[in-house]
Amino acid sequence: MTPPLTILNEEEEAFRDLVADFAAREIEPLRSSMDEAQEMDPALVRKLFGLDLMGVEVPEAYGGAGSTFFNAILVIEELAKVDPSVAVVVDVQNTLVDNCFLNWASEAQKQRYLPRLCRDQVGAYALSEAGSGSDAFAMATRAVPKAGGWLLNGSKLWITNAQEAEIFVVFANTDPAAGYKGVTAFILERGMPGFTVAKKENKLGIRASSTCELSLADVAVGPDQVLGPVGKGYKVAIETLNEGRIGIAAQMAGLAAGALQHALAYTRERKQFGQPIFSFQAVQMRLAEMASRVEAARLMTYNAARLKDAGAPFVKEAAMAKYFASMVAEWVASEALELFGGYGFTKDYPAEKYFRDSKIGKIYEGTTFMQLQTIAKLL
């Protein structure tokens, strides 16, 4: 008899359950206070490192967990069910920063930076600028050659993890006349002369996750701080973001699942006309459609992650997963809030937070319009 198909194997299920238990014990009690304070609890960040969640895919030789990209996606999803702010901290670390070093760093750079990124130092990925959003390579930040290296000048906006980060992957143009072919990736560290973490944004959602401006004024870097070949920063950025979009899809699928879980629990407790509102068919129909869309978003995300781990083409599937999961997250969070009625509009329940947190999914790491453009090109 053919055994039943499973989405996760036993090892993956055990790992997922471990992360889910951690999120319930360590994150849920802090969710509201971190959101109100707009601060990530430093002790919680240390626990994320302690559980090896900040270097999931990094080989053990560099201090990581030596696991799979798929397991990193499971981590992001499970954390997002409880708090998407925490999920995005882990997401950026794993799918963007760690993968930049794994795929593009020299052996010396891997030895220098990956153990720190796995052990206790948060990383940030600095591509966006005031004048370069979807057109990410219309950047104004410049890297001018000097004796023994480069001088970096410019500013970066919307940089996730910037307040907590010690290690930054920063993109600058070394040859503006060459356009995007002049873009180069550099490794910067907090405290370097001329390098400042500036204004912190006051955001609608994912408020505990820091989003800051970076200022660069004659920041001197040596050749050992160039990540990948000079002039190939566009490839570093594009290939990393293709993987990162699966992480955002996982964050949004997890957010939608969390909102659904709370809505299910509330509709079974809340009574009107002498019975739980879950007993009304109209409520059941809404919950059934919510659950169906959540499952579809999850499966699309898992499929893209499996393709990536298998070394198969995955760019179209990653864009589809990010596009669809972000739509599902916003819709499910909105439906969940309405099922809570008036309580959903208050901070007594987490429904309003899921709703606020969901909006960013359509914006960062490639807007909905850019995902559709990518998908269309690959049809």
What is the predicted pLDDT for the residue at 5? Answer: 55
CB 204 within 8 A of CB 356: yes
Number of H helices, E strands in the chain: 12, 10
DSSP state of 342: G
Confidence at 1, pLDDT banded by 50, 70, 90 = very low
Tell me the two tokens of residue 335.
């439906």
Determine the average pLDDT of the residues in 90-115: 98
Of 209, 231, 253, the one marking the end of a domain is 231
pLDDT digits (tens, 9 = 90+) for 214-254: 999 999 999 999 999 999 999 999 999 999 999 999 999 99
Predicted local distance difference test score (pLDDT) of residue 138: 85
The verdict on 225 and 349 lying in the same domain is no
Is 365 annotated in the active site? yes
Q: Say how many Å lie between the first and final Cα of the chain, rounded.
A: 38
Tell me the backbone φ, ψ of residue 149, rounded to 5 degrees.
160, -135
Q: Is 272 exposed, middle or buried (0-12, 13-18, 19+ CB in 10 A)?
A: exposed
Query: In whole angstroms, what is the distance from residue 178 CA to residue 283 CA?
Result: 57
pLDDT tens digits for range 281-313: 999 999 999 999 999 999 999 999 999 999 999
Mean pLDDT score across all residues of the chain: 96
With 70 as the cut, is the pLDDT of residue 129 above it?
yes
Q: How many domains does the chain have?
A: 3
Any idea which residue has 């052996």 for tokens?
107
Q: Which amino acid is at 127?
A: L
Q: How far is residue 89's CA from residue 45's CA, in Å, rounded to a whole number?
A: 9
User: Do both 351 and 361 map to the same domain?
Assistant: yes
Single out the catalytic residue among 129, 164, 243, 365.
Answer: 365
C-alpha distance from residue 267 to each of 254, 262, 281, 285 (Å): 20, 9, 12, 12
pTM, full prediction:
0.96
Domain limits at 357? 235-378
Task: Supply the pLDDT for residue 133.
Answer: 77
Residues 222 and 248 reside in one and the same domain? no
SS3 136: coil
My answer on whether 142 and 29 are in the same domain is: no
